[in-house]
Each structure stands twice: as C-alpha cells, then as structure tokens.
Structure 1
Amino acid sequence: MKLEGAVALVTGGARRLGRALSLGLAEAGCDIFIHYRSSAGAAGRTASDVRALGRHAATAAADLSHPEQVDDLFEVFDTAFGRLDILVNSAASFERTPFGEATVAEWDAALALNLRAPFLMTQRAAVRMRTATERRGTQGEHRAPGVIINMSDMSALAAWEGFAPHGVSKAGLLHLTALTARELGPEVRANAIVPGPILPPPGETAEDPAWREKGRRIPLGRTGDPRYVAHAARFLAENDYVTGATIHVDGGEHLLTGGAR
C-alpha cells in the first residue's frame, strides 16, 4: 500500500507504544485517527504532533470493552475521515491476576478489551476497507488491500505466571490475526506484532538497573525503542504480499526457553 495519503485508525494511539505507532505512520504519510479511553490530554498532544508533520489528525474517546462504544467510535471516525485503509489494534489492558484468585469479572474484562474489541474493530473496519479498495489503486495488477495490524505481546508465546487472563487474551489475538487473514483476504490483510522489551514499565526509566539487565539477558543484549515497532508496522502496512504473519520485535527474546519475564 502506498502510505502517502492513507488513513490509519490507531486504538490506544495517544500514549506510549500507541503514540509511537501513530507518529510513525504519520511520518510515512498517513492521516491518523487517534482513539483513547481516558488520556484526552495525551491524545491532543499526539494529534498536534501528527499535524506538525503535515498530516490530518482527529481524536475520539471510547471504552472498547463496551461493544456499543465501538460503534460510536466508528460514527465519529466516519465523520472525520470517511475512508479507512489501516487499523492498528493497540489498545489493551495489562493486569496481573494470580491464577487461583482470578474472578469471572477479571477474566471477562481482559478478554473484552484485549480480544473481543479487536474482533469487533476488525469487523467494522473491514466493511470500510472493502469500499475503499478502488480508491487505493493498484500494486501491479492487484488492488491494494486494507490492513489490520494487531499488537500482541510475549505473554501470548509463554506461560507467564500471574497473567492467565491477559496471556490467554493475547494468544487468542494471534489466532484471530490468522483467521482474519484467511477469511478477509484478498480485500484485507492482517498481521501481528509481538514487541519485547521496548518500553520500561510505567514509573521506571530506561536507566533502571532491572531494565538494563533485562536487555542484557536477550540475544541482542539490549532493550529496544518504540521506533522499532513503528518501523515494523510501516513494513506491514506497505508490503501487500504479507498476511497472516507475526513479527517479533524483541531482540530475540522469544528464543529464550519459556520466554521468561
């Protein structure tokens, strides 16, 4: 897909990794619709930074764990842009939940946001992507398909103790990616990214000894940076012959036995 002038919707696109994805796609020429749940100030700052890059930007709030708010979000999106080329499902929760203490409510909350919401977003995005196919033009003899990019994490690959609902939801997201690629092709492509040690946890910095030690334990011997994930997202958006793939942007962390945290 030619990214200059394409429209991308990034869920959780205001802060941290979502912000990097929003700005990375804007730098590549995309106009950006930034979803957020409660970070209105951060969304406004990210939108301003997108506009400073010469691209259009709009923002909207929604709790994607509520299906009706997914529909409301697309109503705002349709008014703002009217076409959709790229959907990045980045919004997620990350809650520690000891296996023996996990409640039904905690299980449902993790799957509602981390798995059901990307499914509903993809359903609704696909309808819009199919109608935009003609306007996207051709790559050789083929129309450029729409693009879904799902953000998973290492808990999808390894059995992290204390994160059962979260890990199951992220593993399910990888399978959803494969199903989406098979069922929605050729009009829509779907791929996933699994970041590794890209951002230190909230409240920590890249200089904290524990974070630096985490980097030393992985094959590349260092932690990463959000720009590496943004580069992967740009590749997946541009390359029209990649679908159903999972890209690890983790310095080789997935190669470690058990993917230990």
Structure 2
Amino acid sequence: MSGSNELEGKVAIVTGAGRNIGRAIALALADGGASILVNARSNRAEADAVAREIEAAGHKAVVHIGDVADAGQVQAMVDRAVSHFGRLDILVNNAALRREKPFAEMSYAEWREVMNVTLDGAFHCVKACLPHLKKSGAGTIVNIGGLSAHTGARDRAHVVTAKAGIVGFTRALAHDLASDGITVNCVVPGLIGTPRPKNTPEPAHHLIHQTITGERGRPEDVAAAVRFLCGPAARYINGQAIHSNGGAYLGA
C-alpha cells in the first residue's frame, strides 16, 4: 500500500506513538497521506524523532506530550490537533501499560494504574475526539488490543482485564456511533518483536505461544492493519477485533 494516498486530507491522533507499535502506526498513516498528531506521555525526544521521520518523508506532523489518563490533558491534545490541522478524522488508541505481577501481590493502586491508562485513557480520548469525528463524515476509531485478553495469561490480571475491556468498548461504540458515520474496530497484536528497556524480560505469556511460521511479527505488520481500517476500503468493517499475530491465536 506504500505510495498510495488513500488518507490524503485526513488528520489522525495516535496515542503512545513515540516508539514500537505506536511509532509504526503513525508512520503508516502518514505514508497514506494523513497528517499526524504524535502523542507520548512524557518522552518528548522519542515523539519528536517520530515527527521528524514523518516530515522527512514529506508529510505533516505535530507533537503533543500528555497523559491519556488525564481528561484535561487529553482535551488539550485534541484541541492542539484541531487548531493545528483544522480537523480530525482518525483516533488510534494505542497508549497502554503492560505490567506483570502475580495477582496475590498486586495492589489496588497497581491495578488502577493499568486501567487508568489503557481503558480510561481510551474513554477520555473518544469523548474528546467525538465532536470532531462526527464532523468528518468518515470518522474512524481504532483501538489496539492485546493477545492475552483472548488467551489469558499469568501475572497479568490487570492487563488482561483492561485489554478485554477494550474489545467490549470497541463493540459498544460501533453500535453507538454508527449513525454518525464513525467506524470503530480493534486491532489485536500478538508476538510482535519490539525493543524492550534494558534488563526487561520478554512477557512471560509470549513463551507459551507460537506463530504458525515460527517467526515474530513486526510493528509494521500491526500498523498495516490499522492503516487499512482507516482507509475508504474498510468502511463496511465495524465492531471487529482483527488479529495480527501470525496464527498464534486462531479465534474470534
């Protein structure tokens, strides 16, 4: 799809876009012609680097640092996108926390931290974006799910619950927003090879799953699915959880 301009004239917000899957999504949507607001919670250097990549390829980008768990910061992010680009057509809810801890040792504060970013953050973003997405005429919301929400996993009760909630949120919004011409879908990555902070082990649940090919996916594989769902050819796809996992999970 590279080289086509199916998203020309569109404006997208991608949360958690400073690295890995979020970065790949921002670059893919820009390659389709969209102007991108690159969001990161705190790492401006990473977000600025993504914006520079987009601009170097001849596309438009602006950076906004803000925590999606804070409704006020989310509203400021949306206002920034609309004031800078004049409109908003696409929201990609990618920001999330992926912690691991046995449930018996998990505090309520640790539980809430994950919910606040992954699930409440998606709520705040949709609420703030909704008036502008309605004006688009072809608004699109893509939520990023997680493999463990479908398979379960040890030491991830908070993450599994939040990501399962994202799937439910997707299906509910698809019903609520269809009359406004807004599609809502979920892309579920699985076994994607991404750089991890030093001394951070690979998630434990990755070790019990295998892809059909035996290879891990790339962030670009997830981004390609998101880009398709944001384009005109996907307007009849709504309320779906679409898996990008190399066959590691074969289910609805």
**By how many angstroms is 1:255 displaced?**
3.1
CA distance in 2, matches of 1:215, 1:101: 23
Q: CA RMSD in A?
A: 2.4
Alignment of 1:18 with 2:22, yes or no, is yes
Match of 1:48 in 2: 52
Check the 8 A contact 2:90/2:230 in 1, yes or no: yes
Check the 8 A contact 1:85/1:147 in 2, yes or no: yes
- The correspondence for 1:250, drawn from 229, 245, 249, is 245
TM-score normalised by structure 2 residue count: 0.89
Alignment of 1:191 with 2:185, yes or no, is yes
TM-score normalised by structure 1 residue count: 0.86
Would the alpha carbon gap of residues 215 and 227 (structure 1) be closer, same or farther in structure 2, given more than 3 Å must change?
farther
Paired residue secondary structure (2:62): strand
**By how many angstroms is 1:159 displaced?**
1.8
CA distance in 2, matches of 1:229, 1:255: 16
Q: How many residues align?
A: 241
- The correspondence for 1:240, drawn from 235, 241, 248, is 235
Alignment of 1:73 with 2:68, yes or no, is no
CA distance in 1, matches of 2:28, 2:207: 26
**Structure 2: runs of 5+ lacking an equivalent:** none
**By how many angstroms is 1:200 displaced?**
3.8
Of the two, which has the highest radius of gyration? 1
Check the 8 A contact 2:209/2:248 in 1, yes or no: no
CA distance in 1, matches of 2:194, 2:58: 30
Paired residue secondary structure (1:96): coil
Would the alpha carbon gap of residues 112 and 193 (structure 1) be closer, same or farther in structure 2, given more than 3 Å must change?
same
CA distance in 1, matches of 2:246, 2:185: 19
Alignment of 1:130 with 2:134, yes or no, is yes
Check the 8 A contact 1:215/1:221 in 2, yes or no: no
Alignment of 1:93 with 2:97, yes or no, is yes
**By how many angstroms is 1:119 displaced?**
1.3
Paired residue secondary structure (2:220): helix
Letter in 2 for 1:228: D
Match of 2:40 in 1: 36
CA distance in 1, matches of 2:225, 2:246: 13
Letter in 1 for 2:235: D
Within-5 A mapping of 1:208-247: 217-238=210-231, 239-247=234-242
**Structure 1: runs of 5+ lacking an equivalent:** 134-144, 257-261
